A and B are shown apart, each in its own frame.
Chain A
Amino acid sequence: MGANLIANYGEAVAMVLFVIGFMNLLLQKNLIKKIIGLNIMDSAVYLFLAEKGYINGRTVPIVVNGIQDVETYINPIPSGLVLTGIVVSVSVSALMLSLTIRLYKRYQTLDLDEISIRLRKEGL
């Protein structure tokens, strides 16, 4: 168990980060902090993927001096997944930020609970 943990310290860190991000997204009241939590969570997943795809002592799968032996390169698929994931998370973050701006313009606060209370007062 302990040995496994040390050997896979990257994944372990990723998991810790994932939980931190998740909890921030879930529990923070401030919308900006929530979005930061979201980004931590997503980055943790990418870290996990990258860590999994990396094989010690090999190099990036970019063809420089002609195609070399398979053993030379690391697994390229996780990197591809990470890239796709980043695109997704960027767009989602952008959407969240734009929503936040709108809410802030309307209610001058970033606290979601307070906004709810005010909405109820407005009687909407």
Chain B
Amino acid sequence: MDFVQNFPFFSIILSMFSGIISSVLPKRAAKWVNTVMIILVGIFSFILLFYMIGRGNSYTYMMGHFPAPWGNEIRVGVLEAGMALFFCIIMILSLFGGRKKLDEELEESKHSLYYILADLMLSSLLALVYTNDLFTAYVFVEINTIAACGLIMIRRNGRTIEAAVRYMIMSLLGSGMLLMGICMLYDLTGHLLMSNIHEQVSALAVSGEYHVPLLVTIALMSVGLAIKSALFPFHAWLPDAYGYSTVSSAAILSSLVSKGYIFLLIKIIYRVIGIDVFDGSRIIDMLFAFGLMGMIFGSLSAIKENDVRRMIAYSSVAQIGYIYMGIGMGTQAGMEASVFHILTHAATKSLLFIAAIGLTDVSGGSRKFIDLTGAAYRNRWAGVAFAVGSLSMVGVPLFSGFISKLLFAQAAVQNHVKMLPALIVLGISTVLNAIYFMKTVIRIYTPVEGTGSGEGVTFKNMKIYVVTLVCFIILNVFLGVSSQPVVNLIGQGLAMFS
């Protein structure tokens, strides 16, 4: 066994232990531990990714001394390693981008707590990505929820606590359903490891036994994860949670937490249920339909919104709709598009959140549109970044959003039944996106009479912030311009799933 194969395990343990150690460290040390840990995990994942590309097939890593049907396992393929790397990049950029704001908004005693939560968040995300065991996945889903709840309410005012409570309630409903689904699946198959369940489920599907319980199980798990990742009818908690928490939290929540759950769902579809069985169930059409509705209603809510942070949050509902639409197509191409959109959305939405905070900061802290007039002149970097993020979300070529839409459409053309609704809704949603994002961009670039643009924020007093924004923009353009290798990797990774 190559030494590199230990890296997933190292990553999880490293992030978890840095969280534990941070609890006794002072604030500055906790910050550094966090930064170094994320970079290390990122490097691990990077090496692992290259190792996996060279290796060409996936491997399982035994945790403890018990072999397959009993022990716990980690399973690694190209997609897992790539996802872990991507999560690390977004996480560190989000933390850097929001650091200044974090220092202002948090009480002194809470700082190290914040980094502990971030460490835990990363470790649970990594575990969700790597694990091959459903019950382990459940446990880390809960850890993820708790960490996310902490990230929301760490900035203490009435609104965030309420948002955290609402988030917790919806999340608990979701994880309750997921747990029930897992238990029923265990009951049906007698296994907890994904690969073993997969064999049994295939056998059940062939024999036609337990058809209804199997369907119920799939529904429970899909709906549970859909609630947790804020698919359209279950999105009520989202705008408050993303809109009022501190900006790093909002960026991490929107781009990583919900994506972790979606990734778990994709894993369940491929590795547990099997794409064929899943394709044959009605559940997939339901996800497709909810995805389409989310694309439209999320955008409509965003148009009505008068608060820029909440608008971006509602836009997430629409974007998550896109991802579920891709999953709902039930084809390899649709799934590739969804995974690519996970990357796109993560890169773009955190950029938007962080750019938005720069804009609101120079507008007297107000988030109302009227006060944002001309904000782009007061903080040029944030203005440009927000414009780039908006263009990407609208789907202008050269940015990652366009490639996502292209992939979705290519996938849709292959599916004769779902082609028309998908393309039409894609079109409507593009136009709706354009309305609210362009409205905002015009607003921030409308000059205000009287105030000079000279006294705005300069590069010197916010180096880290600007560098973060530039990194995000580069990431966006990179995904938009040279998408083919990424898409190929995703395809390779999905092929390794089965």
Contacts and interface: CB of A to CB of B under 8 A. Distances in A.
A107 interface: yes
Interface string B144-185: 011001000100011101101110110011001101100100
Interface residues of A, number: 37
A72 B135 CA distance: 26
Given A25-B173, A122-B158, A99 B164 contact: yes
Contacts, number: 85
B162 A45 contact: no
Contacts of A30: none
B392 to A, nearest CB: 31
B384 interface: no
B169 to A, nearest CB: 6
Nearest to B164: A99
Given A106-B158, A124-B157, A112 B176 contact: no
Contacts of A88: 138-139, 142
B187 interface: yes
Interface in A38-89: 38, 41-42, 45, 48-49, 52, 77-78, 81, 84-85, 88
Contacts of B159: 119, 124
Contacts of A41: 176
B162 A112 contact: yes
A124 B139 CA distance: 35
A73 to B, nearest CB: 15
A111 B129 CA distance: 37
Interface residues of B, number: 29
Contacts of A100: 165
A119 B142 CA distance: 28
A78 B172 CA distance: 21
A5 interface: no
Contacts of B165: 31, 96, 99-100, 103, 112
Interface string A13-26: 00000100110011
A74 to B, nearest CB: 14
Contact of B173 (A22, A52, A81, A116): A22
Given A25-B173, A52-B183, A95 B168 contact: yes
A45 B153 contact: no
Given A25-B169, A52-B187, A91-B146, A103 B162 contact: yes
21 contacts: A18-B180, A22-B173, A26-B169, A26-B173, A45-B176, A45-B183, A48-B180, A48-B183, A49-B186, A81-B186, A84-B135, A85-B179, A88-B138, A88-B139, A92-B146, A92-B168, A95-B146, A96-B168, A107-B158, A116-B162, A119-B158
Interface of B: 135, 138-139, 142, 145-146, 149, 153, 157-159, 161-162, 164-166, 168-169, 172-173, 176-177, 179-180, 183, 186-187, 192, 244
Interface of A: 18, 21-22, 25-26, 31, 34, 38, 41-42, 45, 48-49, 52, 77-78, 81, 84-85, 88, 91-92, 95-96, 99-100, 102-103, 106-107, 112, 115-116, 118-119, 122, 124
